[in-house]
């Protein structure tokens, strides 16, 4: 059953009973809001229902959407014309960074947001990661700037930026490694890469996007906190939304860290990426009206 259908079922009664509120909080936790947020949302909902004289489940369901709306925040991270744009994809291993790099290149070439794109193979830990990006580059007909496995990821970024300038590219999409030996290493590495890009890029054209896997639940929030300590994360990209309709994590990250969501990915094909739309997203979470 889809998550929104579970909400609908729970709030299906004519008159809500006191137990229903607790059950709703539990369900919102299952939807990846996290316990504190779920409790706060239910409290707020109770107050809103009392104020509006709403006693039925369907009325409460609609009001729940209003309660959650401030945390459904979209970000437009499309490349801006008139200069070089850089998108750096961050995130732990396996969340879908490399796949998303290719999806973004495909999308922005397709809709004309970027005329020329370069992919930077910044995940230098694994040879397979470099190969994976090269393969996408071949399929998409775009250049991939890479060095051999084990090389310095900062140097790869540096090369990619130089290539973009000399070729007049509009956009560099940088893949990065998510695996570090420990948190301190990760933070240091991120800071270094960030400095290299920031030194050469207009701040309005530089986006740091954290990729999180919707199936990992509250872990994604922990990852967002860790990455935010090292680098300013401009927006989230939520992947694997196809295998989990529990989208509360994007709301939880926005509430906790103030980070909006740029895209939602729901499959492995290039086309399986869509701009985050708060209205659509809340409807998928809580159910659509009408
Ligand atoms: N179902 C699904 N699979 C995805 C999505 N995004 C990525 N994947 C898959 O997740 C796996 C890891 O992706 P990859 O891009 O290599 O992750 P990375 O380690 O962060 O670079 C691959 O098998 C991808 O095909 C998505 O939105 N939905
Ligand atoms: Mg990768």
Written as six digits, the tokens of 112 are 């004309």
Q: Specify whether the CB–CB gap between 97 and 152 falls below 8 A.
A: no
Q: Are strands 143-145 and 261-265 parallel, antiparallel or unpaired?
A: unpaired
Please tell me the distance between residue 96's alpha carbon and the centre of ligand 1 in angstroms: 4
Strand duo 85-90 + 235-239: pairing: unpaired
pLDDT at 13 over 90: no
Domain limits, the chain: 3-71, 85-286
- Residue 12's pLDDT is 86
Are 193 and 157 a contacting pair, CB within 8 Å? Answer: yes
Q: One fold for both 3-71 and 85-286?
A: no
CA distance 11 to 18: 12
Domain 85-286 CATH superfamily: P-loop containing nucleotide triphosphate hydrolases (3.40.50.300)
To test the pocket of ligand 1, the residue of 90, 176, 268, 269 to mutate (highest count of ligand atoms within 8 Å of its CB) is 268
Q: Which pLDDT does position 186 carry in this prediction?
A: 78
The count of other CB atoms within 10 Å of the CB of residue 30 is 14
Q: How many angstroms separate the alpha carbon of residue 36 from the centre of ligand 1? A: 30
Q: Ligand 1, closest atom to CA 265?
A: 27
Nearest CA to ligand 1 atom 6: 96
pLDDT digits (tens, 9 = 90+) for 71-95: 999 999 999 999 999 999 999 999 9
Q: Write the pLDDT tens digit of every residue in 147-202.
A: 999 899 999 999 999 999 999 999 999 999 877 667 788 788 888 999 999 999 99
Give burial (CB, 10 Å; 0-12/13-18/19+) of 267.
middle
Q: Is residue 201 lining ligand 1, measured as CB closer than 6 Å?
A: no
Query: Which ligand has the nearest atom to the CA of 240?
Result: 1
Summarize pLDDT for 207-265 with one digit per residue, the tens. 999 999 999 999 999 999 999 988 999 999 999 998 766 789 999 999 999 999 999 99
- pLDDT, residue 111, reads 96
The Cα–Cα gap between 106 and 53 comes to 49
Compute and round to an integer the Cα radius of gyration of the chain.
21
Element (H, E) at 188: helix 183-200
Q: How far apart are CA 136 and CA 250, in angstroms?
A: 27
CATH number for domain 3-71, candidates 3.40.190.10, 2.40.160.50, 1.20.120.140, 3.40.50.1220: 1.20.120.140
Q: Which helix (H) or strand (E) element contains residue 222? A: helix 219-230
State residue 187's pLDDT score: 80
């Amino acid at each position: 059953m889809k998550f929104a259908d579970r909400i609908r079922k729970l709030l299906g009664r004519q008159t809500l009973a006191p137990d229903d509120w607790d059950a709703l909080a539990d369900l919102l936790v299952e939807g990846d809001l996290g316990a504190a947020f779920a409790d706060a949302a239910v409290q707020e909902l109770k107050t809103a229902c009392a104020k509006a004289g709403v006693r039925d489940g369907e009325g409460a369901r609609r009001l729940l959407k209003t309660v959650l709306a401030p945390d459904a925040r979209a970000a437009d991270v499309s490349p801006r014309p008139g200069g070089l744009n850089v998108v750096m994809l961050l995130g732990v291993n396996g969340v879908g960074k490399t796949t998303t790099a290719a999806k973004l290149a495909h999308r922005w070439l397709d809709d004309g947001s970027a005329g020329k794109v370069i992919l930077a193979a910044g995940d230098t830990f694994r040879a397979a990661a470099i190969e994976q990006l090269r393969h996408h580059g071949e399929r998409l007909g775009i250049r991939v700037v890479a060095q051999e496995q084990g090389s310095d990821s900062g140097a790869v970024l540096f090369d990619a930026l130089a290539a973009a300038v000399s070729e007049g590219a509009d956009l560099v999409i940088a893949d990065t490694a998510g695996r570090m030996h420990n948190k301190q290493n990760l933070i240091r590495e991120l800071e270094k890469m960030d400095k290299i890009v920031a030194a050469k890029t207009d701040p309005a054209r530089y986006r740091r996007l954290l990729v999180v896997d919707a199936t990992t639940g509250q872990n994604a929030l922990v990852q967002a906190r860790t990455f935010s300590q090292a680098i300013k994360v401009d927006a989230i990209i939520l992947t694997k939304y196809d295998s989990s309709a529990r989208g509360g994590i994007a709301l939880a990250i926005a509430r906790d860290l103030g980070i909006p969501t740029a895209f939602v990915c729901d499959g492995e094909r290039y086309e399986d990426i869509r701009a985050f739309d708060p209205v659509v997203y809340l409807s998928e979470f809580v159910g659509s009206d009408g």
